[in-house]
Amino acid sequence: MYKFVMPEVIFGSGSISQTGECCARLGARHVLVVTDQGIMDAGWTEQVLKSCRVAGLAATLFCGVSVNPTDDEADICTRVYQENGCDAIMAVGGGSAIDIGKAAAVLAANGGHIRDYEGVDRILHPLPPLVMVPTTAGSGSEVSQFSVIVDSSRRKKMTIVSKSLVPDIAVIDPDVLATKSARLTATTGLDVITHAIESFVSVAATPMTDVQAKNALMLASRYLRPSVASKYNREAKEKMAMASLQAGLAFSNAILGAAHAMSHTIGGRYPFLHGDINAVLLPHVMEFNFIACPDKFREMAVLMGEDVTGLSDIAAGEKAIQSVRKLAVDIGAPLTLSEMGFEAEAIAEISEIALTDACMITNPRDISAEEVAVLLTRALS
């Protein structure tokens, strides 16, 4: 027996102009718009604020979201929400802005510190209306029941999982992807690939998540290269937006695996981009997980366009791993942890903490701290 839950989705070019009306439909009168400086500069925040005005809504802006957002940012965001008498939250940005928007909603409705909600199903009171507008393809947070926030006292990314965190409406406008740099397109695209692959091999995968994960992997492996190549390839942007959405639906309901568990741990300590860490770790985690489900690896190879005719599951599955490596190389993603500034001395501690991340539970192969350390060492250089 399993559950599948998702928000209402509005998808397509120009849909950002519907955001105000979406909030109004949910009963909002005064929207807190959560965003970051890059999105402000690109002009998307202004479009959302305009849509609020057109819908007759008051709006307050919170622009203090960082790359790996923290509990302190969540507290400040909550205060801004409360002091301005807001009654709904709209986040416009990547996973960071959306996760802070969710965290502020939790705190506004439930009080306390965001640390109190770490883990699964600890949110008691219903959240204010949430409309999420992703600007990267991407985190998938606009459809997921996750929020990942750094606990600054422990320097650890906390994973908060609750059905309450599924937004009411996700408004996905592929046009916003045209202002992303190639660098950010590559790193967020590899996050999509990681979501699709980890949720597909997750021990909590279901037929409902499989259709989403498989389609996401097929789309992302086909359209990430051209999307990185050109800001103006609208077809590639639209397909990557769909891949991100579907990968988000898959992992929201099937959870993830060891790559994300390690990535959350590293991201709590280092200012690296989440997608970069995943990109480096994913092939190593795939090699480790391979023996858990060679048949699924074969399927992944086919989805990524590999010809596996006449190959055994083992040989076919290896092609899936090669295909992921090749993609990372082609789009200029980082290939080692050390080039990002990660140091071997941290491995022992990171390995212990990573084991406690909620995403480790659904990894398809049992794993020990020693094995995590081996994977991190392989990923170093």
- With contact defined as beta carbons under 8 Å apart, do 337 and 379 qualify? yes
Which part of the chain contacts a copy of itself (CB under 8 A), choosing from 7-15, 176-184, 288-296, 343-351? 7-15
Which part of the chain contacts a copy of itself (CB under 8 A), choosing from 32-40, 51-59, 115-123, 239-247? 239-247
Question: Site map for a copy of itself, 261-300, x if CB under 8 A?
Answer: ----------------------------------------
Q: Which of 12, 64, 226, 294 binds a copy of itself (CB under 8 A)?
A: 12
Contacts with a copy of itself by CB under 8 A: the residue count is 25
Asked if 242 is part of the footprint of a copy of itself (rule: CB under 8 A), the reply reads yes
Strands 8-11 and 88-93: unpaired
Asked if 202 is part of the footprint of a copy of itself (rule: CB under 8 A), the reply reads no
In whole angstroms, give the CA distance from residue 292 to residue 281. Answer: 18
Show the tokens assigned to 38. Answer: 């890059």
CA 299 to chain centroid: 23
In whole angstroms, give the CA distance from residue 307 to residue 305. Answer: 7
Asked if 176 is part of the footprint of a copy of itself (rule: CB under 8 A), the reply reads no
- With contact defined as beta carbons under 8 Å apart, do 11 and 132 qualify? no
Show the tokens assigned to 73. Answer: 């940012």
> Cβ of residue 177: shortest distance to a copy of itself, in angstroms?
15
> Cβ of residue 7: shortest distance to a copy of itself, in angstroms?
9
219/261 with CB nearer a copy of itself: 219
Backbone angles phi, psi at 346, to 5 degrees: -80, -10
Asked if 120 is part of the footprint of a copy of itself (rule: CB under 8 A), the reply reads no
Q: Which of 58, 76, 120, 208 binds a copy of itself (CB under 8 A)?
A: 208
Nearest C-alpha neighbor of 259 from the set 191, 210, 184: 191
In whole angstroms, give the CA distance from residue 346 to residue 377. Answer: 10
- With contact defined as beta carbons under 8 Å apart, do 152 and 70 qualify? yes
Secondary structure letter of residue 180 according to DSSP: S
Q: Which of 47, 78, 141, 246 binds a copy of itself (CB under 8 A)?
A: 246
- With contact defined as beta carbons under 8 Å apart, do 160 and 118 qualify? yes
Asked if 310 is part of the footprint of a copy of itself (rule: CB under 8 A), the reply reads no
CA 114 vs CA 36, 102, 273: distances in Å: 20, 10, 22
Which part of the chain contacts a copy of itself (CB under 8 A), choosing from 201-209, 291-299, 324-332, 335-343? 201-209
Asked if 8 is part of the footprint of a copy of itself (rule: CB under 8 A), the reply reads yes
- With contact defined as beta carbons under 8 Å apart, do 202 and 289 qualify? no
Tell me the Ramachandran region of residue 85: left when phi exceeds 0, alpha when psi lies from -120 to 50, beta otherwise.
left
> Cβ of residue 85: shortest distance to a copy of itself, in angstroms?
24
Asked if 109 is part of the footprint of a copy of itself (rule: CB under 8 A), the reply reads no
Q: Which of 84, 110, 206, 322 binds a copy of itself (CB under 8 A)?
A: 206
Asked if 11 is part of the footprint of a copy of itself (rule: CB under 8 A), the reply reads yes
What angle (nearest 5°) sits at the alpha carbon of residue 260, between those of residues 138 and 163? 70
22/34 with CB nearer a copy of itself: 22
> Cβ of residue 11: shortest distance to a copy of itself, in angstroms?
6
Asked if 309 is part of the footprint of a copy of itself (rule: CB under 8 A), the reply reads no
Q: How many CB atoms lie within 10 A of CB 350?
A: 21
Strands 156-161 and 146-151: antiparallel
Q: Which of 19, 144, 212, 265 binds a copy of itself (CB under 8 A)?
A: 212
2/111 with CB nearer a copy of itself: 2
Asked if 147 is part of the footprint of a copy of itself (rule: CB under 8 A), the reply reads no
- With contact defined as beta carbons under 8 Å apart, do 379 and 336 qualify? yes
143/321 with CB nearer a copy of itself: 143
249 forms beta bridges with: none
Question: Site map for a copy of itself, 18-57, x if CB under 8 A?
Answer: x---------------------------------------
Q: Fill in the amino acid letter for 244.
A: S
Which residues contribute to the site for a copy of itself (CB under 8 A)?
A: 1-6, 8-15, 18, 163, 206-208, 211-212, 215, 242, 245-246
